[in-house]
Structure 1
Amino acid sequence: MRKTPSHRAGRALLAVALLLPFTGCAGEGPRSVKGKHTLRVGVKYDQPGIGMRRPDGTFEGFDVEVARYVATKLGAKDVEFVGLTSGQREDYLLHRKVDLVIATYSITAKRKTIVTYAGPYYVAHQDIMVRADDTSVSGLRDLKDKRLCQSQGSNSVLRVTEEHGIPATLVPAASYGECFTKLTAGQVDAVTTDDLILAGFALQQPKAVRLVNTKFTDEKWGIGLHRSDVRGCEEVNRAVTGMYQDGTAERLLKRWFGPTGVEVTTTVPQFEGCS
């Protein structure tokens, strides 16, 4: 049958009608963490003192406590924790599997093109951990030709091998928990990452390992949000400021890391700015 102008007009109107729900969604703007009833927060699950999953399935650690504080300030009534590895952080934010990532998530220029960062909520310093009886490592240069554990998704070893040009044999691991196990088992010679992460593991077996105490970077731990949530980022920054001003940050740092002897910073970090 020949299509008349009225038929063609009808089909055009139908097509527009089918598209309206989708264009309407686009006009609603990005979903923000501000004011959500339940916040899903990605945290580490195998880092003592930072983010650790208990046998009953609940989580504990410094990052976990920071997450609870920030969520309350954002107006959330409930927090659901999701355990993740370093390599999963961007994917979980991009695909909205979590609303926030608070998981020793160092701010880098590359990552800022993928996610939005609030904070930093803490500035750590990269250090080195070796077995307690290993006297061959007293500084960064001593890592030459050593077996260095490389946790998936982490940039820490690249600061040694690329930024400082120190040749080392990289031994892959799924997480820093696995790196710690490899170190104590003699499968690697050293683990290098942020001092608070290393300090947490050192508490598990204080006689088996030691920190070299050669702090050679500033690691700005940010709170990751979906790339579109600039408004939420600004609200998170307000919460982090309050956390330091009311003494909560100092209390949490001393609670989780005081026994390690690691020197902690208790003043508000300089924020990177939301963009």
Structure 2
Amino acid sequence: MPPRVRLVALVLALATAACAPVPRDPVPRPSAPQPQPPAVSAPTANQRNAACQGTTASLRPDGTELVRLPRGGVIDAIRQRGLRVGVSQTAAKLSSRNLRTGVVEGLEADLALEIARAIFPDRDPAEVPKLIEYVAMPTRDRFLALETDQNGRFPPATNVAKVHLIIADASVTCERVDTFGVRFSVPYLETKQALLTYRGTDGVWDPRTGVQGRTVCSGAGTVNLARITERGGIAVPVVDTTDCLVQLQRHQVDAVSTDDVILEGFHDQDPNTEIHPFPPDTTDFAAVAVSHRDDDLVRLVNAVLERMRGERMRALYAKWFGDRPMVMPPADYEGG
């Protein structure tokens, strides 16, 4: 081969080598997330089997709350400054912000609107939604957002934005009453703990047999998280329950466990998932959480919920959950 031809061939070979893709190591599977430290060092809730110091029973409305607003106190403060409601803002069907319109939508947003209408009966109904400020509440820190005696003795709670109501699929428990000074309304929603996995797990693991030895994500500070551990699962807590869907999509956990109504929203976002019952069968009641200092507000919320009991609540369930059979749980009032 003539020298000039050899030189051209060498140049072409070097150019080809330079353009060839460099071999890469295989992308490793993401590691399992580590438990996340709280934004504030939240107080430790009482053990789930401990007796209540307070009460999970609610306050019975006397029938006048919707025709004559209580004077003074928190109701007047709300009328002057607006109603601040703690919601998830990312829980589809319950409370999520519509990215197109910016409006918070869902069953819990509709409940907040009904309560606001009762507090502002003299305002133009079209203007009432503007009097509600929705505050995003991470699952873990939501109860610290209430102005209570217990939270007042816990200085880090000042780092959490304060609200008048929490309507964020908050299950009624003794621990929340005693630890955070919560006063619950009557329940508006019955839920069951469930599991969300990707389709096709049956060949490796049947979720119906339990969570023993499986990594399961749930929101920190929830009753769901405690049940995972009790059943032998490896609990992976996150700041907000909606973060669990991302963990599942990254294959960092085997499953997500929270209330079935939330998992339905996750499934709508990712149809490649499927929902399974959490063994054993568990039932919880979600209610509006209010400060123990605000009895008038608790009674007003209960008056609104009792007015909605029956056809109006069934219509609201159908609006957000379709044909799924749902019934408003019975009220549990002090004194029976």
TM-score tier by shorter-chain length is 0.7 to 0.9
| Greater Rg by CA | 2
1:109 paired with 2:169, answer no
Pairwise CA RMSD of aligned residues?
A: 2.4
1:271 paired with 2:331, answer yes
| Contact kept? 1:107, 1:220, Cα under 8 Å | yes
1:145 paired with 2:210, answer no
Normalising by structure 1, report the TM-score.
0.78
Normalising by structure 2, report the TM-score.
0.65
Against the structure 1 CA distance between its residues 274 and 232, is the aligned structure 2 distance closer, same or farther, given a 3 Å change threshold?
A: farther
1:72 paired with 2:117, answer yes
Structure 1 CA distance, aligned partners of 2:113 and 2:334? 21
Give unpaired runs (5+ residues) of structure 2. Answer: 1-70, 122-127, 148-157
Structure 1 CA distance, aligned partners of 2:75 and 2:168? 17
Equivalent of residue 132 in structure 1, options 188, 191, 199? 199
Taking only the aligned residue pairs, the percentage that are identical comes to 25
Deviates more, 1:170-179 or 1:116-125: 170-179
1:83 paired with 2:136, answer yes
- Offset of residue 255 of structure 1: 1.9
Q: How does 1:102-251 map to 2 (within 5 A)?
A: 102-113=167-178, 114-135=181-202, 136-139=205-208, 141-162=209-230, 166-206=231-271, 208-214=272-278, 216-245=281-310, 247-251=311-315
- Offset of residue 103 of structure 1: 0.3
Structure 1 CA distance, aligned partners of 2:218 and 2:266? 16
- Offset of residue 272 of structure 1: 3.1
CA deviation digits over 1:92-131, x for unaligned, max 9? 1126811111000001001122211101111111111111
Equivalent of residue 108 in structure 2, options 41, 56, 63? 63
1:40 paired residue number = 84
* Count of paired positions: 237
| Contact kept? 1:118, 1:274, Cα under 8 Å | no
Structure 2 CA distance, aligned partners of 1:31 and 1:93? 15
Tell me, what secondary structure is at the counterpart of 1:42?
strand
> Which amino acid is 1:63 matched to?
E
- Offset of residue 54 of structure 1: 2.8
Tell me, what secondary structure is at the counterpart of 1:270?
coil
Deviates more, 1:180-189 or 1:55-64: 55-64
CA deviation digits over 1:186-226, x for unaligned, max 9? 111111111101111111112x1001135721111010111
Bigger strand fraction:
1
1:14 paired residue number = none
> Which amino acid is 2:96 matched to?
M
> Which amino acid is 1:160 matched to?
I
Tell me, what secondary structure is at the counterpart of 1:161?
helix
| Contact kept? 1:30, 1:229, Cα under 8 Å | no
2:56 paired residue number = none
